[in-house]
Amino acid sequence: MREKLQFYIDGAWVDPAGGVNALDVINPATEKPMGRIAMGSAADADRAVRAAAAAFPAFSATSVKDRLDLLGAIASEYQKRYADIAAAITEEMGAPAWLATQAQAALGIAHLQTAMGVLQHYKFSELRGTTMISKEPIGVCAFITPWNWPINQIACKVAPALATGCTMVLKPSEIAPFNAIIWAEILHAAGVPKGVFNLVNGDGPTVGAALSAHPLVDMVSFTGSTRAGVEVAKNAAPTVKRVHQELGGKSPNIVLDSADLEAAVGGGVKSMMMNSGQSCNAPTRMFVPAAKMDAAAEIARAAAESMAVGDPNGNAALGPVVSETQYNKIQGLIEKGIAEGATLVTGGPGRPAGLDTGYYVRPTVFANVRNDMTIAREEIFGPVLAMLPYNSLDDAVTAANDTPYGLAAYVQGAPDEARAVAARLRAGQVNINGAGPDFMAPFGGYKQSGNGREWGDHAFAEFLEVKATLGYETAAAAE
């Protein structure tokens, strides 16, 4: 049983301002508590923000070498705690141990290393004629992060913020908080100066809202649902702070007529269902040529049924979804798909056979889905695939773009044709033929999938203000 009833503020673990308001953290595989945390208040958020504000003048003045050394120390300490991070993620949000080790925890170190690589060559100033263009740290940053890829979303915000000289307060998801607590321990062991990084656990309406609205917070970066992102933006608006958001998605996956149907459909199913479908960029709407729908549905059936669901500490491909709330939402949407007339290919309501305890969902595939059906419109965030037929490529592109979201998109088929289709898709990141991750590729969305970008050098811009100093040099000196 894990327990952490303190917050990390100003370089130390401190008691909550108003006494401990404890929350049980539930293991989704057992439906039983696996730990307890304290839930913070606006007073705790204020204390953390003020610590970050006090630390900003000195930390923002550190050299690039100082910050490179600091990131290197964090990466070293992270490697020491790598197994602890992976185990916490498995226990608190249900990611299979292999996924937590090979992907979830791996992303934390990858973002640290990427930030170090960018920082080594990043130009923070440039003389244009007689004017100096400078990029300066924006100030105090508030980070509100989700439970689905928790250490990934922490690291991809904290690493570039530290690299650019910002100070910060993190509010991780209260559903999966222990990986964040280990992260705070890592930063402390690495020697991050007091006040530069602070952590306050709590919920969105209390701590998240207090951070978003705080007048000493210069920038808030939020990852989560579009609904919650709207509230963050509203809370931030009166202080006109910068708001960065990575929100929901309903990503299309267009299987072209030229694609290898077996590879494209089978790979698309497995990509979509990884992490039990709990990925904002998951390819949840698969568009296939209408004439190939029956064949594609059979391939999808086989792929989905090959994905064993079970104990995340075993060898299962899929673990449980994160919570009872999430489980019930997914069940309701599966039932909605059936009621609205989509063809249930495999899966369906209820738990997989033999799994009576735990928030396990049957890998589910629907065929012959229309783009106006609920399962094609709403983000399900579970292992549920909607397959939509198309008669012409123009129809496929139009339907793919007919969504309020625009986080990611996928295209499978002949490279030249796939590139032409990718250019027409309204999404922040397009994946052609199952390309692997690129940590220098900007990640973020169009439309209601958010604003701003994370990952690589594009992430640095989110944490920098641009200053123009006119007359920095005389005209004669500039010649």
pLDDT one-digit tens code per residue, 219-262: 999 999 999 999 999 999 999 999 999 999 999 999 999 999 99
**What does the pLDDT average to over 291-299?**
98
Distinct helix (H) and strand (E) counts, the chain: 17, 21
Can you tell me the distance from the alpha carbon of 56 to that of 61, in angstroms, rounded to the nearest whole number? Answer: 8
Domain ranges, residue 257: 252-432
pLDDT at 323: 98
Average pLDDT, the chain: 97
pLDDT one-digit tens code per residue, 383-409: 999 999 999 999 999 999 999 999 999
Residues 202 and 281 in one domain: no
Closest CA to 154 of 197, 92, 215: 197
Residues 56 and 181 in one domain: yes
Residues 237 and 257 in one domain: no
Can you tell me the distance from the alpha carbon of 199 to that of 182, in angstroms, rounded to the nearest whole number? Answer: 11
**What does the pLDDT average to over 10-29?**
97
Residues 360 and 464 in one domain: no
Residues 419 and 271 in one domain: yes
Residues 243 and 256 in one domain: no
**What does the pLDDT average to over 353-372?**
98
At 390, which CATH number? 3.40.309.10
Query: pTM of the full predicted structure?
Result: 0.96
At 88, which CATH number? 3.40.605.10
- Of 280, 379, 454, 462, the catalytic one is 280
Residues 37 and 156 in one domain: yes
Residues 195 and 276 in one domain: no
Residues 402 and 352 in one domain: yes
Catalytic residue flag (residue 280): yes
Task: Say what percent of the chain tops pLDDT 90.
Answer: 99
Task: Say what percent of the chain tops pLDDT 70.
Answer: 99
At residue 62 the predicted structure's pLDDT band, cuts being 50, 70 and 90, is very high
Query: Please, are residues 240 and 217 in contact by the beta-carbon 8 Å criterion?
Result: no
Count structural domains, the chain. Answer: 2
Strands 285-289 and 384-390: parallel
